[in-house]
């Protein structure tokens, strides 16, 4: 039985906006939906892709010391025994004997049901990995797992990447890909789902330099959230106490965001020591140590991991951008997304569908389309079109009006200030390009 989700007005509004504007829909909706699986619509896929691209650029293209990887979701089942997931990737599950609601024992206070006060069952350990079968026979020896994290694909490819790239420690491997967890208590829209995407980077360092790189990556990852426009006052650090640390970690810090449902983890930065490479070396007999020529020393590198969720980052950008305000007695809903990640960069409107305005607008649209993701709209009153673009988070709206036909100028409306400037048509590409650039850089700048 599904757990009753507490009413959260902001999340309710956001879920409804996401459906209305085509950001996110429930998976298999016409069949009544599938628990905690979500589909990204036309605007959602653009937003999520822009977030992933921004992460990829920051973590690989802008650096010389990180290589990219795209490993398969299905891996040799032994990998998950070696990594400790078969034995240890479990959550304690309790059921209420009265209302039958289900909880993670570590997420509730006290020994009675938080919903009805009923008696709870003893905790049972529940493995979060999804299983499936490889080949035609559904037998124990054919079991494979849907990866619960992308990290293991990086560890098992450590030498495969190291050798052709000719990298030297310290260096990293980055990967974006799907992960699956059979979560006991999913929910809060795309915050916790059973199928999600991770953006993970594993940085290999000399054991004596782990603290230095741990501090370095903490700072880098914090700054990335500012770069995609998140307000710094909504972010904070959470340090894992000894008891909270995962079996592989020496130290762990989470970046948390203040959602309407509380401060929650959006990314983890972990010092995984030499745990993973040592375990894989032992299990396979393949030596995953590194010979450091400068130090003239052979060692198993320590790993500093940065592990973020693409879906959770998408949710953070939506929540952080959502605003309602009163404009001339009317309620305006606006997504103040950073232009860098906004799904549509500019919309082009003819003021009316006559007097040659659509033709000029169409020409501008096709020219801009060569440079940015743009949208053409000639439906309804111009005020309504502005509102639709506000809800889509589009930073600029360009309108062709009567004056355009005389002097080749258009109005450019800014989503946030709602101010309009008049600009020459041939200057639009440069103008929008420059605004996207300047507004994308800098802490928390929307
Ligand atoms: P939690 O304690 O909330 O279950 P975790 O500590 O197990 O999370 P990690 O294993 O550190 O999470 O995962 C790294 C990142 O992957 C998280 O910060 C989050 O952004 C993302 N992530 C993890 N599980 C999910 C999920 N079920 N749905 C969406 N994103 C997830």
- 243-290: pLDDT as tens digits: 888 877 899 999 999 999 999 999 999 999 999 999 999 999 999 999
Ligand 1 midpoint to CA 426 (Å)? 47
Alpha carbon separation from 179 to 83, 87, 120, 192, 406 (Å, rounded): 15, 18, 31, 12, 56
Kindly tell me the burial class for residue 72, based on how many C-beta atoms sit within 10 Å of its own C-beta (0-12, 13-18, 19 or more).
exposed
Is the four-CA dihedral 227, 231, 233, 235 of positive or negative sign? negative
Contact between 40 and 218 (Cβ < 8 Å): no
Beta bridge partners of 270: 252, 305
Residue among 313, 310, 299, 393 at smallest CA distance from 346: 393
Atom number in ligand 1 closest to CA 309:
20
Mean pLDDT of the region 381-407:
97
Closest ligand 1 atom, CA of 190? 29
Backbone φ, ψ for residue 135 (5° rounding): 90, 180
Q: Which atom of ligand 1 is nearest to the CA of 307?
A: 14
Q: Is the pLDDT of residue 203 over 50?
A: yes
Mean pLDDT of 64-78: 98
Locate 49 and state its tokens.
Answer: 């892709």
From 8-17, 169-178, 179-188, the region with the lowest mean pLDDT: 179-188
pLDDT band at 439 (very low <50, low <70, confident <90, very high): low
> Best of 186, 312, 319 to mutate for ligand 1, by most ligand atoms within 8 A of CB?
312
d(CA 357, CA 404): 8
Res 46 pLDDT > 50: yes
User: 398-417 b/e with 16+ CB inside 10 Å = b?
Assistant: bbbbeebeeeebbbbbebee
Over range 394-402, report the average pLDDT. Answer: 97
* Mean pLDDT computed over 371-387: 96
Rounded to two decimals, the pTM is: 0.93
Kindly report whether the peptide bond that precedes residue 319 is cis, defined as omega within 30 degrees of 0: no
Q: Please name the CATH architecture into which domain 9-75+129-318 falls.
A: 2-Layer Sandwich (3.30)
User: Higher model confidence: residue 272 or residue 185?
Assistant: 272
Q: Whose CA is nearest to atom 26 of ligand 1?
A: 192
- Predicted local confidence at residue 7, as pLDDT: 63
Report which protein residue has its CA nearest ligand 1's atom 19: 309
CB 301 within 8 A of CB 277: yes
pLDDT band at 443 (very low <50, low <70, confident <90, very high): very low
Listed range (207-211, 325-329, 342-346, 401-405) with the worst mean pLDDT: 325-329
- Res. 3: pLDDT tops 60: no
Closest C-alpha residue for ligand 1 atom 14: 307
> In the numeric block, which tokens belong to residue 287?
């030596």
Cβ < 6 A, ligand 1 pocket: 181, 183, 192-193, 196, 198, 265-268, 307-309, 311-312
- Alpha carbon of 54 to ligand 1 centroid (Å): 20
What is the Cα–Cα distance from 84 to 72, expressed in whole angstroms?
19
Distance 201 CA to ligand 1 centre (A): 14
- Fold of the 344-440 domain: Rossmann fold (3.40.50)
Tokens of 401: 């009006």
pLDDT bracket for residue 438 (50, 70, 90) = low
Integer Cα distance of 437 and 211 in angstroms: 34
Q: Which of 248, 47, 67, 233 is nearest to 157 (CA)?
A: 67
Q: What residues pair up with 236 in beta bridges, in sequence order?
A: 256
Looking at residue 442, its pLDDT comes to: 37
Q: Per-residue pLDDT averaged across 321-325, rounded?
A: 96
Cβ–Cβ under 8 Å, residues 349 and 362: no
The Cβ of residue 173 has, within 10 Å, a number of other Cβ atoms equal to 28
pLDDT digits (tens, 9 = 90+) for 118-176: 999 988 888 999 999 999 999 989 999 999 999 999 999 999 999 999 999 999 999 99
Q: With bands split at pLDDT 50, 70 and 90, how would you rate the model's confidence at 108?
A: confident
State the SS3 of the chain: CCCCCCCCHHHHHHHHHHHHHCCEEECCHHHCCCCCCEEECHHHHHHHHHHHHHHHHHHHHCCCCEEEECCCCECCHHHHHHCCHHHHCEEEEEEECCCCCEEEHHHCCCCECCCCCCEECCCEEEECCEEEECCCCCCHHHEEEECCCCHHHHHCCHHHHHHHHCCCCCEEEEEEEEEECCCCCCECCCCECCEEEEEEEEEEECHHHHHHHHHHHHHHHHHHHHHCCCCHHHEEEEECCHHHCCCCCCEEEEEEEEECCEEEEEEEEEEEECHHHHHHHHHHCCCCCEEECCCCEEECCEEEEEEEEHHHHHHHHHHHHEEEEEECCEEEEEECCCCCCCCCCEEEEECCCCCCHHHHHHHHHHHHHCCCCEEECCCCCHHHHHHHHHHHCCCEEEEECHHHHHHCEEEEEECCCCCEEEEEHHHHHHHHHHHHHHHHCCCCCC
Q: Tell me, in angstroms, the distance from the centre of ligand 1 to residue 309's CA.
A: 7
Q: What is the pLDDT of residues 232-245, one digit of tens each?
A: 999 999 999 988 88
């Amino acid at each position: 039985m599904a757990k009753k989700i507490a009413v959260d007005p902001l999340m309710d509004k956001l879920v409804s906006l996401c459906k209305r504007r085509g950001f996110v829909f429930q998976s298999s909706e016409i069949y009544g939906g599938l628990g905690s699986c979500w589909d990204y619509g036309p605007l959602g896929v653009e937003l999520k892709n822009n977030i992933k691209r921004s992460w990829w650029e920051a973590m690989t293209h802008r650096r010389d010391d990180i290589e990219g990887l795209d490993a398969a979701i299905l891996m040799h089942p032994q990998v998950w025994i070696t990594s400790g997931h078969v034995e240890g990737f479990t959550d304690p599950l309790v059921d209420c004997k009265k209302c039958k609601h289900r909880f993670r024992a570590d997420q509730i206070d006290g020994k009675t049901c938080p919903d009805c006060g009923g008696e709870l069952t003893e905790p049972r350990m529940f493995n979060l990995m999804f299983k499936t079968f490889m080949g035609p026979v559904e037998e124990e020896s054919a079991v494979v797992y849907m990866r619960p994290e992308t990290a293991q694909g990086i560890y098992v490819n450590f030498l495969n990447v190291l050798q052709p790239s000719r990298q030297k420690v310290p260096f990293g491997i980055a990967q974006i890909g799907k992960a699956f967890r059979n979560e006991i208590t999913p929910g809060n829209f795309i915050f916790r789902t059973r199928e999600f995407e991770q953006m993970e980077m594993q940085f290999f360092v000399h054991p004596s330099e782990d603290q230095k790189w741990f501090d370095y990556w903490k700072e880098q990852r914090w700054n990335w959230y500012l770069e995609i426009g998140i307000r710094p006052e909504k972010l904070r650090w959470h340090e894992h106490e000894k008891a909270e640390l995962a079996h592989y970690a020496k130290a762990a810090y989470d970046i948390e965001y203040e959602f309407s449902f509380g401060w929650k983890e959006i990314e983890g930065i972990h010092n995984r020591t030499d745990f993973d490479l040592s375990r894989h070396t032992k299990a396979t007999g393949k030596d995953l140590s590194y010979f450091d020529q400068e130090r003239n020393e052979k060692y198993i590198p320590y790993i500093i991991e940065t592990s973020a969720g693409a879906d959770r980052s998408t949710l953070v950008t939506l929540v952080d951008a959502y605003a309602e305000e009163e404009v001339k007695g009317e309620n305006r809903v606006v997504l103040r997304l950073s232009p860098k990640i906004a799904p549509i960069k500019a919309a082009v409107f003819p003021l009316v569908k006559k007097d040659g305005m659509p033709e000029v607008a169409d020409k501008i649209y096709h020219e801009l389309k060569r440079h940015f993701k743009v949208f053409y709209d000639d439906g309804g009153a111009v005020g309504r079109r502005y509102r639709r673009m506000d809800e889509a988070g589009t930073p600029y709206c360009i309108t062709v009006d009567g004056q355009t036909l005389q002097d080749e100028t258009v109005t450019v409306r800014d989503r946030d200030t709602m101010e309009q400037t008049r600009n020459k048509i041939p200057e639009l590409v440069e103008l929008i390009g420059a605004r996207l650039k300047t507004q994308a850089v800098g802490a928390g700048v929307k």
